[in-house]
Structure formats: C-alpha cells, structure tokens
Amino acid sequence: MDEKQVNQDNNEDVVDTMKNRNVRLALLFTFLGSASRGVWAFVILSNFIHALTGSTLSVGFAEGIQGFSQCIFALVAGVAADKFSREFSLRLAGAFGLIACGVAIFSLKYQETWLTDQYRYYFVIAFLCFWGAYQGIWTTSLETIFADSIATGKRSQFSTQKFILLQIASITGPVIGILLFFYQGNHWKYNILNDIFFIGILLSLPSVFILFLFRDKYTLGELSESHASPLQSPLINDEDVGNVNKDDHFKIGYNYINNNVGNNNKVGRIPYILAIADIISGISAGMTVKFFPLFFANDLKLTPIYTNGIYVGLPIAMSIMAHGGQFVARRYFGRVFTIIFMSIGGAFALIGLWAIEKYAGESTPINVKIIVYVLSTLQHCVRPLKKSLLMDFVPKKRRGIWNAVDSVTRFGWSGSAILGGWIISSYGYGASFLYTGILQFLAAVFLFCLIPLVPNNDNERHREASVDSYESVDDSLRTTSDTAATGW
C-alpha cells in the first residue's frame, strides 16, 4: 500500500464521519424534508395555484415570491452563521418553518365564506414567503454545518450520498400522490389538490423540528479546514476529539499541497467562478423547472397518476446519474471535467426537447419526450460535485456567506419563474426550454475557467507525518476520538 493510501485510510480512522451527530441529523433531515416536500411541492403546488387562479402568470408570481424571500434570507443566514453560529441560524430556520406550516394549514383548511379564492391565493403567497425564508436559512446553515462536520477531501462522497438520499426520499411524495389520486379520482380537481397539499404540509412538520437539534460543538476543527488555508495545526486537537491524551511523539499535521495548487490568490477565484456559473444556470432553470408539471398536465395531457409516476422514476434516474458522475470524477476525469460535460449534456437535452416540440411535437411519442426530459436533469445531478468543490476551497470562517451565495443561486429557480410564466403564456413551453438550454450551456462553458485552478488531486489533503508515528498511537485514542468528535 502506498503512502498516499495509508494517509487516506488513517484519516478515516481518526474521525468516522457517519458517527458525527450533525452529519446524521443532516441526512435524517434531508430524507424527511425531501419526502414530505415531494408530496406537495413537485407536482401539486403549481397545479394547485393554476386550479385556484387559472393563470400560469399567477403560478410564476407565487413561485417568484418564494424565490425572492429565499434569496434575502439566505444572505441573512450566511452572515449569521459566520458571525454568530450555525446552530442559531438553524433554530431561526425552524421558527420560520413552523410559521409557514401554520399559515398553510389555515389557508388550506379554513373554509369560511369570506376566504374567497383570491384571498386564499394571498394566503398561499404568504405561506411561500415564510417557506422561502425557511428554505433560505436552513439551506445556508445546514450546508455549512454539514461541511464543517466532514474532513476536507471526503465531501464529494458524502455530498453525493446526501444528494442521492434526497432524490430517493422524494419518491415518497409522488407515491403518496398516486395513492391519493387513485382513491379520490385521477383528475386535476381543486379539492383533490387541496387535500394532498394539506397532507404534505402536515408531513413537513417533523423535519422542521429536527433543525432545533444541531450543535456547533460537534463540528470538526482543522480537519475540516479549506485547501485554501495553509495549515501546520495538529491533525487531532481539542476541537476534533475533546479531551485526548497525546504523547509527545504524536506530531501529525496537515500541510497544504502547494506544489499542486500554487498561488492561493488563484485558488481564491474558484468560489467566484462556481457562483457566476450557478447564477446563470439557476436563473435559466427557474424558467422551466417549476412549469414541467403544468407541461405534463396541459400540453402532454397526462393524468395526475401518470405525472406522479414520472416523479417517482425521475429521482431514481437522477440518483444513478449522480452516483455515476461521482464515480467517473473519482476514478477518471476529476470533478471539474465531469461537472462540465454532464452540464453540457443536460443543456443539449433541453434544447433537443425544444426542437422536438417545434418540429416533431405531434409525431414524437410521449415516452421519448419524457426520456429527453430526464436526460436534461444531468445539469442538476452535478450539484453534489459542485458543492464539495466549493466547500473544499472556501475557508471555514467564510463558509456561511458562501453557502448563502450558493443558496441565492437557487433563487433563480423560483425568482425567474415570473419570467418563465410570461414566456410560456406568450410563446409556449418550447421557448422556455430553448432559452434555458442556451443559458445552461453558457454556464457550463464558463466552468472551463476552473481547469487551470483546480489540481488533479484536489480531493486529497496530505499530512506531514510518518506512518510509524501514527501507528504508535494507543488504540484508545481512536476510540475516544470517535466518541468525542461525533456526540453519539
């Protein structure tokens, strides 16, 4: 076994990531939150608003309000996470989540005569405002505390696992939708949509309460510091393992891989490049992502059960593609090339969907259109690779604000829905596919700027130590470090 592999294995011995309290809670929150959100947010929300108002523009406006709220509060959370604590920000997110659920429950179940469809729409907008604040805060703070709880060089693996867990969990919502539509009627009726929406909100409450359980004291110390921060600190210190007796001969430290990365000023450009590309991609995605359920219902004339079936299969396909991307990045091309080529593939698929709609819409089987749509999500399957790359090159003291910027890029998913609603109402769904695909292609091409900045072994963080000195440590040290660093 070569020295590189020994160092990597030793890193895993010191801290078992899956035993860390914050990591486990993040995965649990991801599962429960995605499962409950899948009940109402993917298929139901846009169709519910459309049934309530009869307007795609109203759908876009409501989604846009959520996006603007998420944008503003993500920035607030980024500052709060860095200046105060991640723990405080997550509790603030939990408070907004409880308020949002309360407003939604009131608007969906309060049936007094004065609560007309117009007023109910206003209440839905209020709910989306609070929900956007909730999402903006927890997205920023959870990603930050998650990154702080994982050793640098290991985030690609665990970010991909979390992404896959999110996708698999999101199957639960459409499955529940299929069962409810089968029981109540396979129609896009307001009353059916209202009931499923209400059930989804109730199921969201447990995940909101989980946000109150995270603790800053279970984050790692120098183990989770950035590649961009040269270190000569002990590998194991009080932040990482608590009260551990260290012998004098146990002198293991991190060393920034200067021979590969070079000038720190150049490395500092990496987060900015990722942010610009994500802003372009996010704004473009917002013009289509929120409207695909309407496209399936209105243009393709699919039933609710069929549409929910698509959203059962889609997360499975995205999980496979994300896992494949992580494997290819690790074994062959590295993260940057994998991100670029998968993103370009997704953009071409979306442009292809426009071409099908424009030139062969009637003659192309529906299943072919759905397959092309699934391929277009390659753009989103690289998100865990992007997130791990960002967190590996951002210093801990600035991770809050950079996660806020990353969350703001998601604002485009909802904020530009207003523009998407107008484009669709004026020119049809195909036009939104074309504009989105072009912008996503440009965003992918912009990522070529990362190639000279990111080293080939950017997922390794080497230590200045001999293997013999590490192996001389008493086994009890490793046991103690596992317990104190994880909180479990």
The 10s digit of each residue's pLDDT in 3-33 is 444 444 444 444 577 788 888 999 999 999 9
Res 8: pLDDT = 44
- Contacts for 282 with CB less than 8 Å, ≥ 6 apart: 409, 410, 411, 412, 413, 416
Taking only the tens place, the pLDDT of each residue in 55-114 is 888 888 888 888 888 888 888 887 877 777 888 889 999 999 999 999 999 988 876 666
Taking a C-beta distance cutoff of 8 angstroms, is the pair 484, 242 a contact? yes
Q: What's 393's DSSP letter?
A: T
Which alpha helices (DSSP H) does 254-303 contain, by range? 258-261, 264-267, 270-286, 292-294
Closest by alpha carbon to 198, among 42, 43, 95, 44? 44
Res 259: pLDDT = 41
Res 211: pLDDT = 94
Taking a C-beta distance cutoff of 8 angstroms, is the pair 246, 483 a contact? no
Q: Which residues of the chain have pLDDT under 70?
A: 1-15, 111-114, 153, 224-265, 396, 406-415, 455-488
Taking a C-beta distance cutoff of 8 angstroms, is the pair 70, 389 a contact? no
Residue 150: CA atoms inside 13 Å, Cβ hemisphere, count?
A: 26
Report the SS3 class of residue 253: strand
Taking a C-beta distance cutoff of 8 angstroms, is the pair 28, 209 a contact? no
Taking a C-beta distance cutoff of 8 angstroms, is the pair 81, 211 a contact? no
Res 408: pLDDT = 67
What is the helix (H) or strand (E) element at residue 441, kind and residue range? helix 429-446
Identify each DSSP E strand in 367-422 by its residue range.
none
Report the SS3 class of residue 375: helix
- Contacts for 82 with CB less than 8 Å, ≥ 6 apart: 397, 398, 399, 400, 401
Q: How far apart are CA 346 and CA 389, in angstroms?
A: 20
Res 434: pLDDT = 93
Res 415: pLDDT = 61
